[in-house]
Structure 1
Amino acid sequence: MIRVDGGCDGCRGASGWGDGAWRGGGTGGEQRREGGVGIVWRNVVFMALLHLGAVYSLVLVPGAQPLTWIWSYACFIITALGVTAGAHRLWSHRSYKAKLPLRVFLAAANSMAFQNDIFEWARDHRVHHKYSETDADPHNAMRGFFFSHVGWLFVRKHRDVIEKGKKLDVSDLLADPVVRLQRRYYKTSVLVMCFLIPTLVPWYFWGESLWNAYFLASILRYTISLNLTWLVNSAAHMYGNRPYDKNISPRENRFVTFGAIGEGFHNFHHTFPFDYSTSEFGLRLNPTTCFIDLMCWFGLASNRKKASVEMIQARKQRTGDGSA
C-alpha cells in the first residue's frame, strides 16, 4: 500500500457517476447546449418508462422465487463494483493497479451498470473533479437537487463540459486495451450484461419465469442502482457534514455510503481524491474497499494509494468544520 502525503492538482471538487452523454437512451452524443435548454425527450421518455417498470416490478416480488431475489441482489453488487471499484477508483482516479483478469471483470460489470462506457465515464468524471460546481461540471450541484440527480441527463451537455473535457489528458485510458475493447463493443456488452444474463440465469437454472426474471433482475435492479449512483451527485453534495474541507460542497452522507457500497464519504473523497478507499475509515461501511483489498490478497490488484494519518489530521484542523 502506498501512503501519500501530497495533494492532487485540479482534483478538488465534486464527484459524479455516470456523468456525460449517457447512452441509456442517449443525449445526442457530444452536442452542445447553445442557449436553449435543449431537452432530450428520448431520455425523458426512457427514464419515465424505466421507473414505471421498476414500480411495477415491486408487485412481482412476492411471487418470485427466493433464489431470484438473491440473484437480483448479486447482480446489484456486481453492477455497483463495475462503477465503484472499476470506472471510479481504478480508471478515473488510478488509485490502485489491477491485473488483466480483474480489469476484464470490472469492465464487464461496468457494462452491467449501463452508465456509459469506461472511457466516457472516467473522462467526464475527471472534468467533474477539476471544474466542480461550475458549468463544466456535468451534473453541477449548484443547479439544484433534481438537476444533479437526474435532470442533467434530460438536457444537452453544456458546451463547457465538452470544451474542458477535450483539454484533459486521457491517454492513459486509451492505452488500456480493456477500455478500448469495451468502448468498441459497448452496446453489445450492455445488452448481454445488463439485460440478457440477469434475465436468463434465473429462468435457466431454477425455472423462474422470464417475466419475473426480466423485471426483477434487470429492470428493478438497474433502476435502483442508477438512483443510488445519482445520490452521490445529489444528496452527498447537499446533506451531511464536512470534517475535511468545509469550503467545498461534497459531504459525508451515511445513507449514500450504505446504498452506494462505500461512496458516500464524499467530503473525504474530494479532499483526497487519490485515496483508493475514498474514506479515512478503511473497511468500515465500505464494501468496495473490502473488494479491492481482497483482490490484492489474491494478487490481482496492487499499489493502493492511501492518504497518511498525519495528512488527514492536518487537513481536518486546517479546513474541516470541526465535526467528527
Structure 2
Amino acid sequence: MTNRGAHAAEVCAKKASPTAEEAGADRVMTDDVFDDSYRGKEGPKPPRRIVWRNVILMSFLHLSALYGIVLIPSAMYLTWAWSGLYFLMSALGVTAGAHRLWSHRTYKAKLPLRVFLTFANSMAFQNDIFEWARDHRVHHKYSETDADPHNATRGFFFSHIGWLLLRKHPDVIEKGKRLDLSDLKADKVIMFQRRFYKTSVIVMCFFIPTVVPWYFWGESLSNAYFISAILRYALVLNATWLINSAAHMFGNRPYDKTINPRENRLVAFSAIGEGFHNYHHTFPFDYSASEFGCGYNLTTSFIDLMCFLGLAADCKQVSKEVILARKQRTGDGSHRTG
C-alpha cells in the first residue's frame, strides 16, 4: 500500500496500490493519457469569435455575486452555514463526480452515490456530466495545445474564463469526437441527467438553495437568492476555473517538469483537493489526485467515507515506489526540499 496513512487503508479494503504497469492495464479508459504527437500538427489559429450571450451572462452573474457579498452581513447565520454546505455539495458534484469518477474512472460507485453526485453536479451548473467528462478527457489528452478547451498557454484569463466566452477551437471539437465515450453513454444516470439537464439546473442550482433558507428559517428572498444561489454558484465556478488557470501556471513540478500543470495548495484548498495538478496530470488514474491522501483534500476524504459506507470501492492508487521513481526521473527536484 502507499504511505498515505492508515486511515485510507482501513477505510476501503478494496483499494488497489498498482505498480505503474498494473495501473495502466487496470484503467477503464486511456483517453486521459497525454498524446504529444498532436503538438507538431497544430494548424493556423482561427479568428476568435466572441460568444456575446456568455459574456453578458457571466458579467451579470459576477455583478450579482458582488451584490451577494454586500448582503452577507444582513444574512442569518443559518444562511451562511447553508450556503457553505451547498458550496461543498456542489463542488463534490464536480470533483468526486464529473472529474474523478466519470472523467478518469479512478473508483467505482454504487447507484445511490452516482445519483447523489449527479444531483450535486447539477447544483454546480458546469455543463452536464457527459459534456464535462468529454472536454476534460480532451484536456488531458491534448493538454496545452489548440485541442485543449482551456489551453493555459493562451494566458491566465483565457484558461480561467475566457475559453467560455469564445467559440471552441475547431480542434477541440474534432478531437472530442474521436474519443471513446462508450462508458459515459452506457451510464443511464449520466444520460438521464443529460436529457433533463436544464430542468435539473433550475431546480438544484437556483430554486432549492433559494427556497430552503426562505421557507425554513425566514431568510429574506433577496438574501437567499443572491447569497445561497448566486454568490455560492459564482464561487464554485471560480474555484473550478482556478484549476485550469492558476494550477497550470503557479507552483512547483515535483513529478514531471516537462508538463505545465503545477502543485498549488491554495487552489487545492479552494477546490477541495484538486490543486495538486502536476501529480494529477502525471498520474490521472489515482483516485486521490494527489500523493498526500486526505491532506488538503476533502474530496479524497469524501470518497474514503463512501468506501467505509460501502457505496464506493476499487479506488486506484499509485505505489510509493513508483511515485518516488517518477520524481527522481522527471521531477524538478523540489520534492527534496518539500
Three-state SS of the structure 1 residue aligned to 2:50 is: coil
Question: In the alignment, does 2:235 pair up with 1:224?
Answer: yes
Question: In the alignment, does 2:19 pair up with 1:5?
Answer: yes
CA distance in 1: counterparts of 2:97 and 2:67, whole angstroms:
31
Three-state SS of the structure 1 residue aligned to 2:17 is: strand
Give 1:5 deviation, angstroms.
Answer: 1.6
Give 1:34 deviation, angstroms.
Answer: 8.6
Three-state SS of the structure 2 residue aligned to 1:4 is: coil
Question: In the alignment, does 2:200 pair up with 1:189?
Answer: yes
**Alpha carbons of 1:181 and 1:235: their partners in 2 closer, same or farther (altered >3 Å)?**
same
Deviations 1:247-272 (A, max 9, x none): 00000001000000000000000000
Three-state SS of the structure 1 residue aligned to 2:334 is: coil
CA distance in 1: counterparts of 2:60 and 2:18, whole angstroms:
46
Question: Which residue in 2 is equivalent to 1:41?
Answer: 52
1:152 aligned to which of 144, 160, 163 = 163
Question: Which residue in 2 is equivalent to 1:28?
Answer: none
| Identity among equivalent pairs (%) | 70
Three-state SS of the structure 1 residue aligned to 2:81 is: helix
Give 1:36 deviation, angstroms.
Answer: 2.3
**Alpha carbons of 1:112 and 1:184: their partners in 2 closer, same or farther (altered >3 Å)?**
same
Give 1:40 deviation, angstroms.
Answer: 0.1
CA distance in 2: counterparts of 1:2 and 1:67, whole angstroms:
41
Give 1:59 deviation, angstroms.
Answer: 1.1
Deviations 1:212-243 (A, max 9, x none): 10000000000011111000000000000000
Spell out the pairing of 1:1-324 with structure 2 (5 A cutoff).
1-6=15-20, 8=24, 11-12=32-33, 35-324=46-335
Counterpart AA for 2:142: Y
Question: Which residue in 1 is equivalent to 2:41?
Answer: none
Deviations 1:111-133 (A, max 9, x none): 00000000000011001100001
- Counting matched residue pairs gives 306
User: Contact (CA 8 Å) 2:31, 2:180: kept in 1 or not?
Assistant: no
Structure-2-length-normalised TM-score: 0.89
Three-state SS of the structure 2 residue aligned to 1:226 is: helix
CA distance in 1: counterparts of 2:199 and 2:267, whole angstroms:
31
**Alpha carbons of 1:90 and 1:2: their partners in 2 closer, same or farther (altered >3 Å)?**
same
User: Contact (CA 8 Å) 1:13, 1:249: kept in 2 or not?
Assistant: no
Unaligned segments of structure 1, at least 5 residues:
15-32
CA distance in 2: counterparts of 1:58 and 1:88, whole angstroms:
29
Deviations 1:115-172 (A, max 9, x none): 0000000011001100001000000001000000000001101110000000000000
Structure-1-length-normalised TM-score: 0.92
CA distance in 2: counterparts of 1:168 and 1:268, whole angstroms:
23
Give 1:190 deviation, angstroms.
Answer: 0.2
Counterpart AA for 1:138: P
User: Contact (CA 8 Å) 2:49, 2:167: kept in 1 or not?
Assistant: yes
Counterpart AA for 1:207: G
Counterpart AA for 1:153: L
User: Contact (CA 8 Å) 1:34, 1:159: kept in 2 or not?
Assistant: no
Counterpart AA for 1:40: V
Three-state SS of the structure 1 residue aligned to 2:53 is: helix
CA distance in 2: counterparts of 1:11 and 1:246, whole angstroms:
18
> 3-12 or 151-160: which moved more?
3-12
Unaligned segments of structure 2, at least 5 residues:
1-14, 25-29, 36-43
Greater share of residues in helix: 2
Deviations 1:24-64 (A, max 9, x none): xxxxxxxxx99321100000000111000011111110111
User: Contact (CA 8 Å) 1:12, 1:132: kept in 2 or not?
Assistant: no
